[in-house]
Amino acid sequence: MARKGEGVEIFSGWQGGIGGEDFLRQLVERAVQQLVEAEITSFLGAET
């Protein structure tokens, strides 16, 4: 399960001027990964 505060570094990269297709791909991949992890944790009823 993703902990609070994880993923914040990707937004700081955006604010620092890093952009383009790679940034968007990383953002979407990270969001999907966190959603899947949350769903699995909820389904199993366990937290890491």
Q: What local confidence, expressed as pLDDT, does residue 23 receive?
A: 87
- pLDDT higher than threshold 70 for residue 13: no
pLDDT digits (tens, 9 = 90+) for 14-46: 555 556 778 889 999 999 999 999 999 999 986
Residue 7 · residue 30 · CB < 8 Å: yes
Nearest alpha carbon to residue 36 among 15, 28, 12, 10: 28
Q: What local confidence, expressed as pLDDT, does residue 20 receive?
A: 72
- pLDDT higher than threshold 60 for residue 10: no
Residue 40, CA atoms < 13 Å, CB-side half-sphere: 9
The pTM of this model reads 0.52
Nearest alpha carbon to residue 7 among 42, 38, 46: 38
Sorted by sequence, the CB contacts under 8 Å of residue 41 that are 6+ apart come out as: 1, 47, 48
